[in-house]
Amino acid sequence: MIERLAAQWVFRREAGLSNCEEEEFTRWVKADPRHEEAMVRHERAWGSLDRPRLSGQAGQILEGLRRRRVRRQGVRLVSAAAIVAIAFTSFFWVRTSHDPLRTEGILVLAPEKRLLEDGSVVELKPESRIRVEYTATRRQVVLEQGEAHFQVAHQAGRPFCVVAGTVEFRAVGTAFSVQMDTGALALIVTQGTVAVEETNVVEQPEASEARLAQSATTPMALVSAGRKVVVPREVKRHEVSLAEAAVPAEEISEMLSWRIPRLEFTETPLEKAVELLNQYNTVKLTIEDRDLAELRVSGLFRADRVETFVHLLETNFGVRATRTEPGFVLRKLR
């Protein structure tokens, strides 16, 4: 487990970490001397692969490893370099090979996303697990490990509940994230309102209508959009007083930055790379010189890091970027 997590951290740091992710990484490294030792090994291994992100060769490396695994079935690949490369597929969901984006040298890497039967959408942070338990009167998801973000589809009379430990987070039509840590649960609400309640229904999804009605009127806390609350994992209503707090939009964005896709370009025409980046950002890129459209670019970027992409173009590809009201205009450096 330590080796796999170290490999994933190497990849995540190459793609770019948010402030919250940097803090999470620091905590993980300091938690155990073996973590730091594993990071050193995997950083060296990543370097031995010549840092694929800089040349767009990550896909080729992965394909080579897949062919080796087919030829050598039953033989375990234990080198640090192999583990680092495999982390690409274990950390993110990757578009399949028949995706038309692959013909343009593009991979979109994003956290696992599940569409539930009622139309609700769940995004799972790496190493997270959920269990879905729907009944005719109740939509229940048990968070077993990690962190998940929920975009809840409205269904009158059929509440949506996320259960973690002895805590229940209940909504009807809203969006929120629940993070399970060692001793506590963190709720961040991005839309609507979520009720926090002590629960004993983890193993009883067929909760009675009477209990649901009672909990609906007496929640431990009602948390609205833009606010956060931290709850002990083993909560007892009479033993704890929950204090919710307002969180600036920028801070919420940082906390949930793991949901942001990463874009890998491999000899991708600049025009296609710009089109994809513009889909994810309000800061738009415009190519003024048409002969730049076929310029081939390679790299791995967070989809929201337009400035990082522009900096790469200016420092490595002979492009001049001029800031305008909607974004940047790209011209060939003369």
**Contact indicator for 129, 196 with CB cutoff of 8 Å:** no
In the prediction, which pLDDT does 297 show?
A: 87
Cα dihedral across residues 237, 239, 245, 250: positive or negative: negative
Q: Tokens in use for 148? A: 């998940």
Q: What does CATH list as the number for 112-255? A: 2.60.120.1440
**Contact indicator for 291, 332 with CB cutoff of 8 Å:** yes
Cα separation of the two ends of the chain? 51
Q: In the chain, where does the domain assigned CATH 2.60.120.1440 lie?
A: 112-255
What whole-number distance in Å separates Cα of residue 91 and Cα of residue 21? 14
In the prediction, which pLDDT does 186 show?
A: 93
CB within 8 A of 48, min separation 6: which ones? 81
Q: Which of 61, 7, 25, 122 is nearest to 264 (CA)?
A: 61
In the prediction, which pLDDT does 286 show?
A: 94
In the prediction, which pLDDT does 55 show?
A: 41
Q: Which of 142, 143, 174, 172 is nearest to 158 (CA)?
A: 172
Tell me the β-bridge partners of 231. Answer: 185
User: What is the edge-to-edge ordering of all strands in the sheet holding 284-287?
Assistant: 284-287, 327-332, 319-323
Architecture of domain 260-332: 3-Layer(bab) Sandwich (3.55)
Mean pLDDT by 10 residues, the chain (334 residues): 73 67 82 83 55 43 43 41 42 42 75 93 92 94 95 91 92 87 89 86 45 58 92 68 86 90 89 94 91 87 89 87 91 84
In the prediction, which pLDDT does 69 show?
A: 44
Q: In the chain, where does the domain assigned CATH 3.55.50.30 lie?
A: 260-332
**Contact indicator for 303, 260 with CB cutoff of 8 Å:** yes
